[in-house]
Every structure is written in structure tokens, then in C-alpha cells.
Amino acid sequence: GKHTGDITAQMLSELTTHCLIGHSERRSFNKETSQDVAQQAKLLLEDNIIPIVCVDTPYLDEQIKELFRQEVTLNRCIFAYEPVSAIGSGQPESPEGVKKVAAKIALLTNEDATILYGGSVSPENVLNFTNLPGISGVLVGTSSLEPTTFNKLIELFK
């Protein structure tokens, strides 16, 4: 099954440069807190891995405050706005809603954040998000599992 985040930073350090943390799956199934996610971000950065911190509106403020509290260098992190309601549902957040949340992330991080959108991203809607101010790219989940669909996404960026 899907088990995002079940290995350590040290195990990843020779294999990758980026790692997802704070995914809703981990928060739900593993009861991870904003404190846990901030600690993971610090550990990843110590191993020179860029944390991709997944956030949603119910805990957005709390998560960013905890990153500040634990003195995580925010400009070395990437934030992925992933509304739980959109993940794997085929119903992405509206571009207007994404724009609002991206602006809030930028405000809370003192404009230091790179921001992605994730949640039912598809070839049909990806440009609606990547053309928004403040959004640097997308985090693709389900659409990355089908090679033809994922290739269509890649082709849109060439």
C-alpha cells in the first residue's frame, strides 16, 4: 500500500535531494503533529535533503509557526498546498482558492517560501495552477502513477 514517509533521512540521503513530509496520510494514519513535521524538516536539512512540507488550511498557521519555533530555515523548504478534499478525488481546489492560500503561505513565511499546489492535478488543469502568481509548480500524486498521463503533464512544460 501507500506508506509515505516510512524511512529515515539518513536512508534517503544518498538517493534523493527532496522528501515529502507532513502529508495528510501521515497526519491521519500516524498521528503526526506540526511539531513532528518541523523536527523532520530539521533532520532532512541536516542531511542536505530539501523538505517538501505538505500543508492544508486547518493546520497551515500552526505548521509554519512551529517551523519558526524550531528554527527551520524556511527558504530551504518547499511548501506544497495539498487540500485533503482534493487529493485523489478528481476535484482540485479552485485556482482562486489556491491563489489565496499561496498568498497566506507567502505572508506567513515572510515571502521566503517556494510554493507548489497538489491535489487532483491533471493534464487538463495543471496550467490553471502553474500560471498563478506565487505558485512555482505542482506536486503530482495519482496522475504520476499512469505513465501516459504523467508524460502528458511533462509535455505541457516543454
pLDDT, residue 2, reads: 56
User: Rounded to an integer, what distance in angstroms lies between the CA atom of residue 80 and that of residue 74?
Assistant: 13
Q: Is 88 left (phi over 0), alpha (psi -120 to 50) or beta?
A: left
Mean pLDDT of 57-61: 95
The active-site residue out of 25, 32, 66, 82 is 82
**Is 82 known to be catalytic?**
yes
Q: Which of 2-6, 35-39, 150-154 has the lowest average pLDDT?
A: 2-6
Mean pLDDT of 88-111: 95
**Is 14 known to be catalytic?**
no
Mean pLDDT value across the chain: 92
The active-site residue out of 23, 25, 32, 93 is 23
pLDDT, residue 111, reads: 86
pLDDT, residue 7, reads: 76
User: Rounded to an integer, what distance in angstroms lies between the CA atom of residue 98 and that of residue 6?
Assistant: 29
Q: Which three cell numbers stand for residue 105?
A: 503561505
